Amino acid sequence: MKHIVVIGVGYVGLTTAAFLAELGHHVTGVDMDEGKIVLLRQGRIPFIEPELPELVERNVRAGRLNFTTSCQKAMPHADMAFICVGTPPTPSGHADMSQVEEAARQVALAATQPLIVVLKSTTPPGGNAERVAAILASHLSPGMDAPLVVNPEFLREGSAVYDTFHPDRAVIGAWDSAAAEEVAALYAPLRCPVLLTDPASAQLTKYASNAFLATKISFINEISRIAERVGANIHAIAQGMGFDERIGAEFLESGLGYGGSCFPKDVLALSAIAEQQGYYSQFLHAVTDINAGQCSLAVEKLGDALGGFHGKAVCVLGLAFKPQTDDVRESPALSVISMLCRQGAVVQAYDPAAMSTAQKVLPPHAALEYCADAYAAALGCHAVLIATNWPEFRSLDWSHIHSSMAGKAVMDGRGLLSPDEMRGMGFEYLAFAN
Ligand SMILES: NC(=O)C1=CN([C@@H]2O[C@H](COP(=O)(O)OP(=O)(O)OC[C@H]3O[C@@H](n4cnc5c(N)ncnc54)[C@H](O)[C@@H]3O)[C@@H](O)[C@H]2O)C=CC1
Ligand SMILES: O=C(O)[C@H]1O[C@H](OP(=O)(O)OP(=O)(O)OC[C@H]2O[C@@H](n3ccc(=O)[nH]c3=O)[C@H](O)[C@@H]2O)[C@H](O)[C@@H](O)[C@@H]1O
């Protein structure tokens, strides 16, 4: 059993803290956001993530997991500190390392015994791990040691707990092999492949993985543009490709493209890393450009079907960047709503989980109304646009929706509905290459 401190209890930190506690370690989660810590101490989770509330509650009750705003109070007796703070993009696309550097400084200043510092935040190679190690070394008490281990996270929001307990691999990058082995030992109960490597390779593995998944999405969206021109069906194509195990069936869903706090920022950061080293990655820029075009394409198709948006009401179903979360960071749904409002539409929006997070981010607009449910959102509209693939949208009473609308267009931005069924009910079904 180890004493572990987790700095930053957002999506990654809170899941990591609860996971480590479940394995039997004594874990303290630290966050500078007092509101988050107050909620967690009341047994509540600051965001929506399946299975996480139960996992946190069980471990708090067992006395293995607690929370504080004070790194200083948490650090005594810590054998390990996990840094899980944000690395948002700067205006130039680089990863902003300031939260990581500050967390490293706080950990080193508060440490009272030698410990291992594990960097879980996504950080670019090319000097950042070296800088964090130098910050640790320069703020520790004399004679103390805190080797740095880079251990990037691969969980997905919406299935964070499942992914954490069933990882495809653990990637561990360190200069100190004893420290690397100690971190590897944490993952032993999971029986997953463990890759021991150097810090730069671990860092780049994380960026390369996210960029590859983003590439699959942009690739299928590029193919859908070609498919549409030759009258082919993108879902059949994706299925046909996915049977080939070398390609794999996942991440071939075409639609509004990828959003979220990671793919957009990590592809940009990888381009920025390359450019900093004098290499312009045409490939990564193409991935971003194709993705950026998908929302405009959907709005354009709908605008053509409606003969423009002036005087038209559009129901947008979905605000979160993906289902099973209330996270709206870089959500394609919000881009679509902004475009529709700009082009003169009245928007009636609904999401099963992300209404309040969206309202905090989207500027209030006279033409934007948040509705109590999908039926209220569709009432009197000329069109429905599916922006997030929440499974429950599939099982709505679509014939009831059909009779309550002023028009009959449905733009299925996530390939969620059956085109034949929708057309059979009298909808004008629009999608990408269908
Ligand atoms: N969200 C995700 O699905 C994944 C995120 N990542 C990476 O993990 C990192 C964290 O991401 P999220 O968990 O989404 O971020 P988040 O924004 O949800 O949480 C970060 C937390 O760190 C806290 N924080 C910042 N500086 C602090 C400090 N000095 N002391 C204490 N608390 C501090 C913030 O208040 C916030 O609660 C990022 O680098 C991200 O790229 C990696 C894999 C998955
Ligand atoms: O570094 C990260 O933060 C994480 O980023 C992604 O996870 P996440 O962003 O939570 O969610 P995904 O399921 O990957 O979806 C990302 C976006 O891609 C879109 N997507 C996904 C799959 C697909 O086939 N098509 C598609 O458009 C989703 O709608 C969503 O907007 C990766 O899947 C995780 O492995 C990684 O740890």
Choose the final residue of a domain: 144, 179, 197.
Answer: 197
Residue 258 CA to ligand 2 center (angstroms) comes to 7
Choose the final residue of a domain: 163, 197, 231.
Answer: 197
Spatial distance between the Cα atoms of 297 and 217, rounded to a whole number of angstroms: 15
Strands 116-119 and 346-350: unpaired
Is residue 31 marked as binding? yes
- CB of 56 shorter than 6 A to ligand 1: no
Q: 217 and 193 share a domain?
A: no
Q: 360 and 267 share a domain?
A: yes
Spatial distance between the Cα atoms of 43 and 37, rounded to a whole number of angstroms: 10
For residue 109, the domain's CATH number is: 3.40.50.720
Q: 271 and 174 share a domain?
A: no
Question: What is the amino acid identity at position 331?
Answer: S
Q: What is the extent of the structural domain holding 284? A: 199-434
pLDDT at 433: 84
Q: 228 and 183 share a domain?
A: no
The tokens for 189 are 């109960």
Question: What is the amino acid identity at position 49?
Answer: E
Q: 350 and 369 share a domain?
A: yes
Query: pLDDT in tens for each of the 434 residues of the chain?
Result: 999 999 999 999 999 999 999 999 999 999 999 999 999 999 899 999 999 999 999 999 999 999 999 999 999 999 999 999 999 999 999 999 999 999 999 999 999 999 999 999 999 999 999 999 999 999 999 989 999 999 999 999 999 999 999 999 999 999 999 999 999 999 999 999 999 999 999 999 999 999 999 999 999 999 999 999 999 999 999 999 999 999 999 999 999 999 999 999 999 999 999 999 999 999 999 999 999 999 999 999 999 999 999 999 999 999 999 999 999 999 999 999 999 999 999 999 999 999 999 999 998 888 999 999 999 999 999 999 999 999 999 999 999 999 999 999 999 999 999 999 999 999 999 999 87
Residue 10 CA to ligand 1 center (angstroms) comes to 5
DSSP E strands in 309-382: the ranges are 313-317, 346-350, 368-370
Helix (H, G, I), strand (E, B) or coil at 163: helix
The H or E element spanning position 424 is helix 419-424
- CB of 16 shorter than 6 A to ligand 1: no
CA 244, 246, 251, 253 torsion-angle sign: negative
Its pTM stands at: 0.97
- CB of 153 shorter than 6 A to ligand 1: yes
Ligand in nearest proximity to the CA of 263: 2
Choose the final residue of a domain: 171, 197, 223.
Answer: 197
Q: 231 and 138 share a domain?
A: no
The tokens for 130 are 């070296």
Spatial distance between the Cα atoms of 85 and 10, rounded to a whole number of angstroms: 8
On the CB side of 148, how many CA atoms lie within 13 Å of its CA? Answer: 29
The tokens for 277 are 């080293």
Cβ-contact 243, 249 below 8 angstroms: yes
Q: 187 and 265 share a domain?
A: no
Q: 81 and 208 share a domain?
A: no
- CB of 33 shorter than 6 A to ligand 1: yes
Residue 403 CA to ligand 2 center (angstroms) comes to 35
Q: How far is CA 58 from CA 66, 87, 227, 283, in A?
A: 11, 30, 50, 46
- CB of 157 shorter than 6 A to ligand 2: yes
Q: Which of 5, 11, 159 to mutate to test the pocket of ligand 1 (most atoms within 8 A of CB)?
A: 11
Q: 84 and 144 share a domain?
A: yes
Q: 307 and 429 share a domain?
A: yes
Q: How many domains does the chain have?
A: 2
Question: What is the amino acid identity at position 356?
Answer: S
Q: 247 and 218 share a domain?
A: yes
Cβ-contact 356, 333 below 8 angstroms: no
Which residues are catalytic, by number?
262
In order, the DSSP letters of 212-263 are HHHHHHHHHHHHHHHHHHHT--HHHHHHHHHTSTTT-STT---SS---SSSH
The tokens for 418 are 């059956």
Closest residue to atom 30 of ligand 2, CA basis: 258
What number does the ligand 2 atom closest to the CA of 331 have? Answer: 31
